[in-house]
Amino acid sequence: MPEGPELHLASRFVNLACRGLVFCGAVEKSPVSRNPEVPFESSAYCISATARGKELRLTLSPLPGAQPAREPLALVFRFGMTGSFQLAPAEALPPHAHLRFYTASHAPRLALCFVDIRRFGRWDLGGEWQPDRGPCVLLEYEQFRENVLRNLADKAFNRPICEALLDQRFFNGIGNYLRAEILFRLRIPPFEKARTVLEDLLHHRLSPELTLSQKIRAKLQNPDLLELCHLVPKEVVQLVSSPSTSAGWVPASHRRQRLWARSWGGRLRCLPSLAAVLQCAGDELLAGPEWPHHLVSGGSWTPGPKRHQGLSKTFLR
């Protein structure tokens, strides 16, 4: 499922792929999509994108002299399970292209497509970010940190930390594979109460005697949970190769394999007790090549006398 880094990469892809392209005509929606029609038509317009957490804003801006004269239109996309953007020849559209923007050139004519196999993705007109989503963990770190620590009295933090990390009001951009990596790196028991984990950060202050460079070094060497919510997504963006691939983001299975094989060196994994949460939630459990002893090779869960037999399988997709 696309998370914050994937939305960020998708926005980079759109900006790179559409740089210098002129689009024209009406926006075309597939008849099977339940999303709203996009009432936009222009003889010449350009497309740009920005991302925030798990949302992406696409802006359609008419060029000077374009007809009919009109204001730019913005749409906000949420990718659901399988959403992505692709730039393809207009005569060979990819399957499941549910929204299409056509270029003016006829040699060859191209289409920027929002592709969504499972059709869980959504777009809204108007360009407004969802008001119940917090600051982006990737691009708005200071606001994100302040928002979490200021609202620790919220009942969301009564839940286990592994559940609270998916609350987009506070952790906008964090999803399944990111929370697994963050909790593992800090060796935080996933069922620990979220407020208990985070309250310690209210009182954590570096010594005023440290120089600025020493403070920066200390933060990089020993990041806390909120800092990792920012740093791990940045690692993902840096690890993924050129964003100018045909799709705006790398498919999840390929991305995870690449992460294990490259700079993380097979360290993408989570605490074993997180398996129960992921299984009960119906999510995939990320299994890397290095696992605790009771996960045998091949990803099978080794049930103990107190473990539920229903949690006997881990998903490696």
> Phi, psi (5° rounding) for residue 30?
-70, 145
Within 8 A by CB and 6+ apart from 136, the residues are: 4, 51, 52, 53, 144, 172, 173
The answer to whether the beta carbons of residues 197 and 225 sit under 8 Å apart is yes
6, 54, 62, 243: the active-site residue: 54
Reply yes or no on whether 234 is catalytic. Answer: no
d(CA 317, CA 299): 11
C-alpha radius of gyration, the chain, whole number: 22
Whether 3 is catalytic: yes
Quote the tokens at residue 15: 């900006």
Residue 305's CB: how many other CB atoms inside 10 A?
4
2 is catalytic: yes
Task: Report yes or no: 181 and 268 within 8 Å, Cβ to Cβ.
Answer: yes
Q: How far apart are CA 172 and CA 169, in angstroms?
A: 6
Q: Is 277 helix (H, G, I), strand (E, B) or coil?
A: helix
Catalytic residue among 2, 190, 243, 272: 2
> Around Cβ 47, how many Cβ atoms within 10 Å?
20
Show which residues are catalytic: 2-3, 54
